[in-house]
Amino acid sequence: MLKFVEAGAEALTGRRPLEGRTAIVTGSTSGIGLGIARAFVEAGAAVMLNGFGDAVEIESLRAALADENDVDVAYDNADMSDRAAIHMMVERAAMRFGQVDIVVSNAGIQHVAPIGEFPPAKWDSILSINLSAAFHLIQATFDGMRGRGYGRIINVASAHGLVASPFKAAYVAAKHGMVGLTKVVALEGAEFGITSNAICPGYVWTPLVEKQIDDQAKSHNIARDAVIRDVFLKNQPTKRFATTEELGTLAVFLCTDAAASITGTALPVDGGWTAH
Ligand code: NAD
């Protein structure tokens, strides 16, 4: 699909849809963030990757994305629970690329436990990484976007930004907060060419979900297949995981001029889950 969108845009203009744009994608060493970063570089944007992982693997990923797509790709290891590190990452991106046009707050963690047993330290770190980091990243880039009359803010929330599930108090609270933040930023950016949208995936098969499958299988004492069918895809009417490619394609579209009037939304990519 992305190839189709790119091919259409290239045929009309001779340019890839995000050529000349620059982006930071947090938590892009894995899963959804990597899918979005890959879609951005394929669309011609320069991208700063971020996230944790093996330094050698990250460097080879960075180099491959740059070489295969003939764009500048950088990496910053900022910890999203550290406000100062987020601001330094933005400064490094601005120095390297000249400016930051697009920010995607995607880094996120999860912890599943009943309220009475929910560790307060987990509450604090989930709120910090899954919600406050998005505010800090937006605050560090918003004025530059406003001055240039173009900005794209994408917050990777979740279906859990729209509906709740038990045992996910911090995650659901943070993701609902992210949807609220998205709307405020949309209103403040509207007159300045800045759009702000939340993408709300249902279940996407990534390392974050992979870990939960094993945890759930252990705690329910059921097989992995049963966890996937009866727990994860129970509420997802398509009965399949959404893909990182689908999310990357949507993120690219939101950054094009065609999406200039789409702002303040929470877009479900959940196979119909939140239509229930
Ligand atoms: P993932 O575990 O594959 O990737 C998470 C990324 O965040 C990694 O790159 C990791 O290094 C990075 N990260 C974690 N903590 C960080 C920190 N403190 N600082 C910087 N980077 C950090 O997870 P994923 O499934 O790709 O999830 C990405 C986002 O999508 C999360 O916000 C998650 O809540 C959201 N989401 C995922 C699903 C799903 O089914 N996978 C569904 C809805 C929403």
CATH number of the domain within which 260 lies: 3.40.50.720
Same domain, 223 and 94: no
Taking CB atoms and a 6 Å cutoff, what residues make up the pocket around ligand 1? 26-27, 29-33, 50-53, 79-81, 106-109, 129-130, 156, 158, 201, 203-204, 206-209
Tokens linked to 162:
């729209």
Select from 90, 208, 210, 267 the residue to mutate for testing ligand 1; criterion: most ligand atoms less than 8 Å from CB.
Answer: 208
> Where is pLDDT greater, at 9 or 91?
91
The answer to the question of residue 225 being in a domain is: yes
Which domain covers residue 222, as residue numbers? 205-241
Residue 5, pLDDT > 60, answer no
Same domain, 115 and 45: yes
Q: Lowest mean pLDDT of 9-18, 44-53, 66-75, 76-85, name the range.
A: 9-18
- Report, as an integer, the average pLDDT of 89-117: 97
Question: What is the pLDDT, as a whole number, of residue 8?
Answer: 55
Same domain, 154 and 220: no
- Report, as an integer, the average pLDDT of 236-265: 98
The answer to the question of residue 68 being in a domain is: yes
Question: What is the pLDDT, as a whole number, of residue 211?
Answer: 84
Same domain, 264 and 232: no
The answer to the question of residue 109 being in a domain is: yes
Residue 8 Cα to ligand 1 midpoint, Å, equals: 31
Q: Per DSSP, which regions of 186-249 are E strands?
A: 194-201
Same domain, 219 and 167: no
Question: What is the pLDDT, as a whole number, of residue 3?
Answer: 57
The answer to the question of residue 276 being in a domain is: no
Question: What is the pLDDT, as a whole number, of residue 115?
Answer: 97
Question: Could you tell me the pLDDT band of residue 139, with boundaries at 50, 70 and 90?
Answer: very high
The answer to the question of residue 85 being in a domain is: yes
Residue 16, pLDDT > 80, answer yes
**Which of these, 125, 34, 50, 33, lies nearest to 86 by C-alpha position?**
50
Active site (catalytic) residues: 171
Give, as one character, the DSSP assignment of residue 15.
S
The answer to the question of residue 224 being in a domain is: yes
Same domain, 154 and 59: yes
Question: What is the pLDDT, as a whole number, of residue 148?
Answer: 98
Same domain, 54 and 16: yes
pTM of the model: 0.95
Residue 145 Cα to ligand 1 midpoint, Å, equals: 25
Same domain, 106 and 177: yes
Same domain, 219 and 118: no
Share of the chain above pLDDT 70, in %: 95
Question: Total domain count for the chain?
Answer: 2
> CA 209 → CA 111, 203, 216, distances in Å?
11, 8, 10
Select from 32, 50, 233, 236 the residue to mutate for testing ligand 1; criterion: most ligand atoms less than 8 Å from CB.
Answer: 32
- Report, as an integer, the average pLDDT of 87-104: 98
Same domain, 82 and 212: no
The answer to the question of residue 274 being in a domain is: no
Residue 7, pLDDT > 90, answer no
Question: What is the pLDDT, as a whole number, of residue 11?
Answer: 58
pLDDT tens profile 199-247 = 999 999 998 888 889 888 988 899 999 999 998 899 999 999 999 999 9
Kindly report the backbone phi and psi dihedral angles of residue 65, in degrees, each rounded to the nearest multiple of 5, phi listed first.
-60, -40
Q: What is the number of residues in the chain?
A: 276
Ligand 1 closest atom vs CA 129: 18
Share of the chain above pLDDT 90, in %: 88
Same domain, 14 and 52: yes
**Longest CA span, the chain:** 58
The answer to the question of residue 273 being in a domain is: no
Same domain, 132 and 229: no
